[in-house]
Chain A
Amino acid sequence: MSFHPHTSSFNGVQGAGALDVSLGPQHPSTHGVFRMNVRMEGETITKLQPVFGYLHRNHEKIAEANSWLGSMPYTDRLDYICPITNNWAYARAVEQLAGIEVPERAEYIRVIVGELTRLQNHTVFLGFILADMGAWGSALMYAFREREKILDLFEWLTGARMMVNYMRFGGVRCDLPVGWLEKARAYVETYPAFLDEMERLLTGNEILLARLQGVGILSGERAINGGLSGPVLRASGVDYDIRKVDAYGVYPRLSFRIPRGTVGDCYDRFMIRLLEARESIRILQQAFAQIPAGPTLNPAVKQRGFKPPAGEAYGRIEGPKGELGFHLISQGGEKPYRYHVRPPSLINLTLLEEMCLGTKIADVMVILGSIDIVLGEVDR
């Protein structure tokens, strides 16, 4: 029996017991409007085809019609869980294009808000992957409760909880408010207690182990071939972090380790977020101690009517989900000639079928959850 004979993109049913199911786009565990056409033999996946584009908003084309500065608030809406790192990647690409210097204090502020964003993203990930496994409730609520505190810090700093529009070419829009640094430092001190609580709640749980261990194994070699990046790549045992490889900003001055997985299954992808969050805390503590006084925006850069010289640049950062890059081509005008986003969520999804083949239908949601996608970024 074919579930959706007209909308399914597979031709006909082969073999007795084969079932085509359209998973999504309105499915609570597809993290938005992601759709998979799945063929099953019994409950085992034999084919999986992702369908993209339900949240397409023309981001790249709108950017080509907007001024350089005008695209900055739109980047907030790419990966809406972590808008500040999106701002950062775009600002960095433009800074490379125009050869702009960033003041030291601004670089430290970027690292602080960027790492807070990473904490926030990994916190939400912990909640969502539990929700994907059917544990609606406790873990998700605890995660969102914790994220709220980080969003409060962002609101105080930027004026908005999520749509921050904070970075500018050559710095950040405004300096830290009086007392912000102390509050942020006090918050970061309390974060490890939350992680400990989450670990007590989750990591020893036998059901969780049964659902995660040995599910959706991805070898490091295949992950490299697929162009994957971020925690998903590192969970497969590949030592690749753009914070170390490119050593951008003030990251070379901060000491931190790159956690790596060994098996490349969902459990490794889950644990790597916990470990990365702990490393982010170390980075934050160092950045709080080192941040100098000084200007936060390069005064030589004209934000309104900004015209970079003609040329081409690719700026990338290690976003919480992986390599987030912007490829920009300028012809010297007020608008970009070409504006392309390299979203980590989309590229990390390319090996979804490979991870899912041979697993059960209930594992598909866990594997998808362990990749950690945001559809705003996948479909743009």
Chain B
Amino acid sequence: MNLPGSGILKGMAVTAVNFIGSFFDRAHAKRLITEQYPEERPILVETSRSFPFLVFDGDPEKGIRCTACKICEKECPPQCISIVKAKDANGKPILRPQIFDIDISVCMGCQICVEVCPFESIRMDNIYEVSAYDRFGTLVLHKDQLLKSNEYYRQIHPTEAAQTDARIEAVRVKKAAAKAASAKAAAAKAAAAQAAQTQPEPAA
């Protein structure tokens, strides 16, 4: 039979070890994992995600990957995306968004928009300091705020960006190859037609 109170004393010993140990654990390894937030900032892991942004290559106006297909708008579970397709001078719709708004006070960061996007144009950011006084003035992000360069994407998610770039490159190579093949075929056809046209001449 244990001495009465020995259980409490044992527990107090554990508390003491933790209390004293926290002074000797500056590496945040075991006993002390609190971060002194504004002074010390967390080092985010690469996969960390918060809100979506739009990727562009090179020029923000011409290089925008989004084609305003509205798949993300339809699939977004809390429906926080709103897209309006752009029109050219004649009023004909073109494959570019005129308006692209994301209400990040509604967005829950589930990244379903990223998964459904067929053009690799929407990706997850890792910003976290977004508090504001005014919801509609600051928390509804417009197209110009959402557009961020591919270099930025490579910087925050290197592995994922490399995979995306490889996929885009593969599609480009395939398209170029198909184009070259069709051009070659057309050239061959034209040559054959010409040959057919020039062939009869000596016979005639």
Contacts and interface: CB of A to CB of B under 8 A. Distances in A.
Interface of A: 66-67, 69-74, 138, 142, 145, 148-149, 152, 155-160, 163, 165, 173, 177, 197, 200-209, 303-304
Contacts, number: 83
Interface in B1-36: 2, 4-8, 10-11, 13-15, 18, 31, 33
Nearest to A197: B14
Contact of B45 (A71, A74, A148, A156): A156
Interface stretch (B110-118, B132-140, B177-185): B110-118
Interface residues of B, number: 32
Interface of B: 2, 4-8, 10-11, 13-15, 18, 31, 33, 45-49, 71, 75-77, 108-112, 115-116, 124, 159
Contact of A201 (B14, B71, B77): B14
B84 to A, nearest CB: 22
A67 B109 CA distance: 17
A157 B33 contact: no
Given A73-B110, A163-B109, A66 B77 contact: yes
What are the 3 closest A-B residue pairs judged by CB atoms, nearest first?
A: A204-B7, A73-B110, A159-B49
Nearest to A164: B110
Nearest to A152: B45
A70 B77 contact: yes
14 contacts: A67-B75, A70-B75, A70-B76, A70-B112, A159-B49, A159-B111, A159-B124, A160-B49, A173-B115, A177-B47, A200-B14, A204-B2, A205-B8, A209-B7
A206 B75 contact: no
Contacts of A201: 10-11, 14-15
B75 A69 contact: yes
Contacts of B75: 67, 69-70, 304
Given A155-B48, A206-B8, A304-B75, 10 more contacts: A66-B77, A69-B75, A70-B77, A149-B33, A155-B47, A156-B45, A163-B108, A163-B110, A201-B10, A207-B8
Given A67-B75, A206-B7, A73 B47 contact: no
Contacts of B112: 69-70, 72-73, 165
Contacts of A142: 18
A155 B45 contact: yes
A165 B111 contact: yes
Contacts of B31: 145
Contacts of A160: 48-49, 109
B77 A73 contact: yes
Contacts of A205: 7-8, 10-11
Contacts of B15: 138, 201
Contacts of B2: 204
A352 B115 CA distance: 43
B115 A303 contact: yes
B164 to A, nearest CB: 13
B195 to A, nearest CB: 46
Contacts of A177: 46-47, 159
Nearest to A177: B47
Contacts of A173: 115
Nearest to A209: B7
Contacts of A200: 10-11, 13-14
A73 B8 CA distance: 44
Nearest to B77: A70
Given A159-B49, A163-B110, A304-B116, A206 B4 contact: yes
A71 B47 contact: no
A14 B122 CA distance: 65
Given A67-B75, A138-B18, A156 B8 contact: no
A74 B77 contact: yes
Nearest to A190: B30
Contacts of A74: 77
Interface centre among A66, A70, A156, A159 (most CB of B within 10 A): A159
A275 B115 CA distance: 40
Contacts of B13: 200
Contacts of A67: 75, 77
Contacts of A145: 31, 33
B35 to A, nearest CB: 11
Contacts of A155: 45, 47-48
Given A73-B108, A73-B110, A163-B109, A148 B33 contact: yes
Contacts of A165: 110-112
